[in-house]
Structure 1
Amino acid sequence: MNLQQQEVIAVPKISVVIVNYRSWKHLTNCLNSLNVIVSEKFNLEVVVVDNCSNDGFLEKFKQKYKAVKFIENSGNNGFANGCNVGAKNANGDYLLFLNPDTIAAKDALLEMLYLSKTNEDYGIISCSQVNPKGKRENEIRLFPKLQTLFGLSRAIFKRTHKKEIHKIYDVNKKVIFPDWVSGSVIFMSKFWFNQVNGWDENFWMYFEDVDLCKRVQEKKGKVVLSRNAKIIHNHGGASRLNVKTTSITKTEVIISKHVYINTHFNGLNKFIALILLVLNTFLTKFVLGIFGLVFYPIPKMRLQLFLFLKILSYYANAIFHSTWISKKSLNYSK
């Protein structure tokens, strides 16, 4: 084997894993941004896991983006499951989990790759995320704990711990170490991915990124965010309120919070946190649900009624089946 062949083999491969569910417009922009990335310092593989969109677009995308590996999942099995399916079908030394509504940049990939290669204890790496207008997303992300479960207590905690938070998230620092980073941009070596056994599929949607970062830190790894590079995140979407879809997503946020507490809290703290969350959620949604019933013709009010009914159904199911896991999760029946 000559020197040139050895150099080719030494070039690491980054596998970009994108989980898609009917986000074809955003996915087009994301794939187009990846298609133009060429570097001598890494090879790029793109894996798209479609969570059974079942709308006829998958075949069209397979024809349009022939270099991309498309995988049709068995159903809308959630973000964590989609990421794991993509990782199993990826050949890279490094994994970059991207949302379909992101616009990738070569310098961001190079920065995250460099940090991972030169720091073995960097388990998860992300970069600055900005919206299309250039505004940076919130970077202050704290692990849930008893003092930060609710809006008011979280605000008090941030005020009473202002100095410590400022020290960690100092705007002058180019590299910071938050508790967790958003799942829309997560870079990991295959080693670290295997160390934590991938994403936890008990989470159907939401909090799976918080959980992943928590488990990496429990394995003595660091969660890192580099401000030396950025990726555009077109967070948001439709201006019209889809009551049915929104009620599902908002309910899943609450469900995943229960799953996270049940997974990572212990003893009396777990008991108190779960009780407080149940009481706060039930009472709040009950009151808002009454308003939703009275003002049913107004979509935002109708949403509150649907939310209360879904939460009521979830809690009844949690008691009956003794599980906090969402019915949508593949692990529900296990």
Structure 2
Amino acid sequence: MAAPKLEVVIVSYRCRDHVLACLDSLERHPLRGGEMVVHLVDNASGDGTVEEVRRRFPAVEVVALDRNAGFSVANNVVLARARAEYVLALNPDTEATEGALDHMVALMDANPDVGMAGCRLVQPDGTFDHAAKRSFPTPLSALAHFAGIGRRSDSRALGGYRAPDLGERERGEVDAVNGAFMLVRRDALADVGLLDEAYWLYMEDLDWCYRFHQAGWKVLYDGGATFVHVKGGAAGTWRAPRQNVAFHRGMGRFYRKFHGAERPLGAWVVYAGIGAKLAVSLTRSAVGRRQLAWRASAR
């Protein structure tokens, strides 16, 4: 049997409505220039996701895990056995637009030195998601990010983590694309390896992009294709404590792995900033959840 042109892997955890909307969009806007196979790996959601997907989208290949194994592990279930020329790791809270998949696959076909590509991501109201294209965080930019300076700064040294010098609608090489949409060449995947399973959730995308560069593959952003990204739809408005800890722990792991030895002093400054930001974030999240609960009970 001939291998498909594209395999799409979606990982879900208690986000049934987002998964169904994502799959519906892929059904309406599929890859038209070749065969596409869609996989869903469910992290033991227990919310009816598996049953509903099997009922409404029988062509989707469903893998139901018996535990919440995390984002990297779940993606690797499919990535390890993918046969297609290209594999797309896609978030469940994204939705395809017409022609986007064909545009991105054509981009990869035309650029054999590109190992990974990401597209333009917009929120439901059309607002551009600046995290669609990123520079790798440095100790200075990460510290600025955690201190809240990076979002307001025009300095590349302070704000470059979120906004490389590349326009929203432009195409060009970047350090990293967003984990919500990572289109990967299978030959490059065989060269670079799977997602690092030490990241339970968050930062695995930056790690992967970093390793693609280390292996000599280009990472490209193309603003000519668009996916809608609800951004946080699966996690809700306020991150659960486990997700919050995973995000900050992931940032710490990234620095230990790639910068700890060469910049020990700078890395320790970043670790301190990560710890302080985690404490603040957990407090804000707890307060926010209490406020939501109070408003719900007051209705």
Ranges in structure 2 where 5+ consecutive residues have no aligned partner = 292-299
1:204 partnered with 2:200:
yes
SS of 1:267 mapped into structure 2: coil
Matches within 5 A, 1:96-135: 96-135=88-127
Deviation at residue 68 of structure 1 after TM alignment = 0.4
Question: 2:246 and 2:126 mapped to 1: Cα distance?
Answer: 29
User: Which shifted more, 226-235 or 101-110?
Assistant: 101-110
2:295 is aligned to none
User: Residue 47 and residue 287 in structure 1: after superposition, are their counterparts in 2 closer, same or farther (change >3 A)?
Assistant: closer
* Mapped partners of 1:131, 1:110: distance in 2: 21
Counterparts in 2 of 1:27-38, with a 5 A limit? 27-38=19-30
Q: Which residue of 2 aligns with 1:179?
A: 175
Q: Which residue of 2 aligns with 1:188?
A: 184
> Shift of the alpha carbon at 1:47?
0.3
Q: Report the CA distance between 1:149 and its aligned residue.
A: 2.0
> Paired residue for 1:313?
none
Structure whose alpha-carbon radius of gyration is higher: 1
Stretches of structure 1 that go unaligned for 5 or more consecutive residues are 1-7, 304-334
CA distance in 2, matches of 1:287, 1:133: 29
Structure 1 CA distance, aligned partners of 2:47 and 2:31?
35
Instruction: Tell me, yes or no, if structure 1 residue 67 matches structure 2 residue 43.
Output: no
Alpha-carbon separation, structure 2, partners of 1:40 and 1:301: 43
Asked if 1:145 corresponds to 2:117, the answer is no
CA shift for structure 1 position 219: 1.0
Q: Which amino acid aligns with 1:246?
A: A
Residue from 165, 170, 180 that aligns with 1:169:
165
Whole-Å separation in 2 of the counterparts to 1:178 and 1:63: 40
Task: Give the counterpart letter for 2:231 in structure 1.
Answer: H
Using the alignment, how far apart are the partners of 1:130 and 1:160 within structure 2?
A: 22
Within 2, Cα distance between the matches of 1:66 and 1:206?
A: 30
Equivalenced residues, count: 285
* Residues 18 and 86 in structure 1, CA contact (< 8 A), matched pair in contact too: no
- 1:259 corresponds to 2:253: yes
Shift of 1:233: 0.9
C-alpha change, 1:210 and 1:283, in structure 2 (3 Å) is: closer
Give the SS at the match of 2:240. helix
Which amino acid counterpart does residue 159 of structure 1 have in structure 2?
S
Q: Secondary structure of 1:127's partner? A: strand
* Counterpart in the other structure of 1:306: none
How big is each residue's C-alpha offset from its partner over 1:76-110, in whole Å with a ceiling of 9 and x where there is no partner? Answer: 11111111112235432210111111111341111
2:241 aligns with 247
Q: Map 1:66-105 onto structure 2 (within 5 A).
A: 66-105=58-97
Compared CA separation, residues 86 and 106, structure 1 to 2 (3 A) = farther
Correspondence 1:276 to 2:269: yes
Greater helix share, 1 or 2? 1
Distance 1:212 1:71, change over 3 A: same
Change (3 A) 1:144 1:240: closer
Counterpart contact for 1:147–1:157, Cα < 8 Å: no
- C-alpha displacement of 1:15: 0.4
Give the counterpart of 1:51 among 43, 50, 53: 43
Is 2:13–2:234's contact at 8 Å kept on the other side of the alignment? no
Decide whether the 8 Å contact of 1:148 with 1:157 is kept in 2. no
Cα distance in 1, alignment partners of residues 245 and 87 from structure 2: 30
**Does the CA contact (< 8 Å) of 1:261 and 1:273 recur in 2?**
no
SS in 2 for 1:150: helix
1:19 matched to 2:11: yes
Within 2, Cα distance between the matches of 1:31 and 1:159? 40
1:241–1:23: structure 2 CA closer, same or farther, 3 Å change rule? closer
Secondary structure of the residue aligned to 2:120 is strand
**Matches of 2:235 and 2:75, distance apart in 1:** 28
Q: How far did residue 74 of structure 1 move?
A: 3.6
Higher RCO, 1 vs 2 (CA within 8 Å, ≥6 residues apart):
2
* Paired position in structure 2 for 1:299: 287
Shift of 1:285: 5.7
Deviations 1:132-190 (A, max 9, x none): 1212110451212222221257579851659x99x963438631222111110010111
| Residue number in structure 1 paired with 2:228 | 232
